[in-house]
Amino acid sequence: MRTRIKLFPMGVGIAITAFVASCGGGGDGTGSEAIPLTTARLDCQVADKSSGDAVAGATVNYQARSTEYTTQTDTDGNCRLDLPAAEVAGVKYPAASVTKPGYEPQTVLCASLQGGSACSQAIQLIPLAANVSIPVGGDVVMHLGDDRYEGAVNSQFQKASDGVELAFPIADWAEQLKAAGVTKATVYLDAKGWQTGTCSNLVSLSGDTGTLTLPGGVSPAAGYWAGGRQVPFVFAVAQVGNRAAELRITSGSCNGTSDFDDFEINRIRVEFN
């Protein structure tokens, strides 16, 4: 069982806007205080992408090796997570999640999290469009696979495996299909360590009519997170059903062996068109 630790929001200094935020040593990014070597700090500043206003009460979640750490943004949209260095050390491009009802979830990426230093990042939350659904459980980092991997650059994961197949119900599937002219559901997600070129990974939509399945994606060998809107998985809703549906992500065997691909996913969205 994973341990969940709830932290409290607090103010931060200047955030750095970047896809992968830089992480310096010897301070918290403001120079105001030293960070213990046993602590790795994640600071963020969260704003509404449309208005530019600070977003208070957004949940920031980091899935570590054995513990889930969460906090919320304060009235100025600032957050701080102090993480045990031993829980995050050695992970390339660790990812946190920012969520709030009414917005799409967002991934927070750092080059690394190290004891005695801070990673600071500015995050923009996209208001949730009426035709976009967030599958249940798809807004935090999940690890698929059998936990058998060599630890190469593209296989340095931040948490233990959640299984070789995960299902994410789409709670408003039937309601979304009531809109006129909807013929397809497009799945978007962020992924790290995905090697469908050599492993039979799958992305499926399963409903009351049937199941449609597509091959998974391929992440950069350098260990970056990739995907998002650049990698769409498009499904015909008529072949899935109109009453209920769930998204399934499956880790497949690699090169015909008994080894299953290990990869992490985050920020799942389903867009209806």
User: pLDDT tens for residues 174-220?
Assistant: 999 999 999 999 999 999 999 999 999 999 999 999 999 999 999 99
- Model confidence band, residue 18 (pLDDT cutoffs 50, 70, 90): very low
Q: What count of other Cβ atoms lies within 10 Å of the Cβ of residue 124?
A: 16
Summarize the confidence of residues 81-110 as an average pLDDT: 95
Is residue 78 within 8 Å of 12, Cβ to Cβ? yes
Average pLDDT score, the chain: 89
Give the global pTM: 0.87
Inter-CA distances, 80 with 42, 52, 58, 70, Å: 6, 20, 12, 9
Inter-CA distances, 48 with 76, 128, 266, Å: 12, 11, 20
Q: How does 264-273 read in b/e, with b if 16+ C-beta sit within 10 Å?
A: bbbbbbbbbe
pLDDT of residue 90: 87
- Model confidence band, residue 26 (pLDDT cutoffs 50, 70, 90): very low
pLDDT at 8 over 90: no
Q: In terms of DSSP bridges, do strands 59-63 and 67-72 run parallel, antiparallel, or are they unpaired?
A: antiparallel
Q: What is the spatial distance between Cα 25 and Cα 15, in angstroms, rounded to a whole number? A: 15
Phi, psi of 153 (to 5 degrees): -55, -40
| Domains by residue range for the chain, with CATH | 3-125 (2.60.40.10), 132-272 (2.60.120)
pLDDT at 103 over 70: yes
pLDDT at 170 over 80: yes
For 121, the token pair is 């990042």
- Model confidence band, residue 154 (pLDDT cutoffs 50, 70, 90): low
pLDDT at 12 over 90: no
- Model confidence band, residue 221 (pLDDT cutoffs 50, 70, 90): confident
Q: Is 157 helix (H, G, I), strand (E, B) or coil?
A: coil
Q: Return the percent helix, strand and coil in the chain, to nearest 5.
A: 5, 40, 50
